Chain A
Amino acid sequence: MNEYYLCEFEYGYEGQFYQEIFNNQVVRYADLDGNTLTLEGEYGCRIINLNPERPVWAN
């Protein structure tokens, strides 16, 4: 089952997103609606919540 960290960008982009994890590997980054984020260029981010409420779109 995938895990999710709720994160926020420090620079490069604005807003919050999920880091989706499976087997301790980052599968993808997703916005709060579950859409995959394709991150380009340089950016910084940090974890806001290591164990957020499971996104409704998460399978």
Chain B
Amino acid sequence: MANTSLNTQPIYTSSADTQWIGGATAANTTKDLTSGTAYLTFTASSTGGGYVQRIRFRALGTNVATVARVFINNGGATGTTANNILWDEISLPAVTLSEVSALPTYELPLNFALPPSYRLFVTIATVVAAGYAITTIGGKY
């Protein structure tokens, strides 16, 4: 028998929610987020949760090549393996600062909902000099 109580209507976020962190420079090769420096880039609303649309990586100057890894955390301590999962990763090629041409922006699509208090963390795999501005675009339910 069909469950007629399921939500069949898409819902929209009630307000925009853009969060960021600047100057991500420390390296961390963890694959489970239990150790080292991790950059908190988004925390979903503690009441209704949130929706994340995309995350952008913007070099703040000259950086060596690295990899950014995006983790989902359930709101619990990151030191506990079961609280985190590696969601995706993206290569960030070496860039050299210029005042006559723009540095490239790198972006990962997310497009999923996060339960209340869930968080997104980012790590980078090599130390970089200038660092990255990491911005998450989303909304609050």
Q: How far is the CB of B79 from chain A (nearest CB, A)?
A: 11
Inter-chain contact B64/A26, CB cutoff 8 Å: yes
Give the number of chain A interface residues (Cβ < 8 Å): 19
Asked if residues A24 and B64 are in contact (CB atoms below 8 Å), the reply is yes
Q: Check A5 against B129 for contact (C-beta < 8 Å).
A: yes
Are the C-beta atoms of A10 and B37 separated by less than 8 Å? yes
A19-57 interface mask toward B, CB cutoff 8 Å, 1 = contact, 0 = none? 101011110000000000000011111110010000000
Is the beta-carbon distance between B27 and A46 smaller than 8 angstroms? yes
Contact B65 A47, beta carbon cutoff 8 Å? no
Q: What range describes how many residues of B lie at the interface?
A: 20 to 34
Q: Nearest chain A CB to B64's CB is how many angstroms away? A: 5
Chain A residues touching B, majority SS: strand
Q: Determine if B127 and A19 form an interchain contact, defined as CB atoms under 8 angstroms apart.
A: yes
Residues of B within 8 A of A42 (CB): 28-31, 35-36
A44 close to B126 (CB less than 8 A): no
Q: Which residues of B contact A10 (CB under 8 A)?
A: 26, 28, 35-37
Q: Which B residues lie within 8 Å of A23 (CB)?
A: 94
**Cβ-defined contact, B127 with A25, below 8 A:** no
Contact surface of A with B, Cβ cutoff 8 Å: 5, 7, 10-12, 19, 21, 23-26, 41-47, 50
Which residues of B come within 8 Å of A, CB atoms? 25-31, 35-37, 62-65, 94-96, 126-127, 129
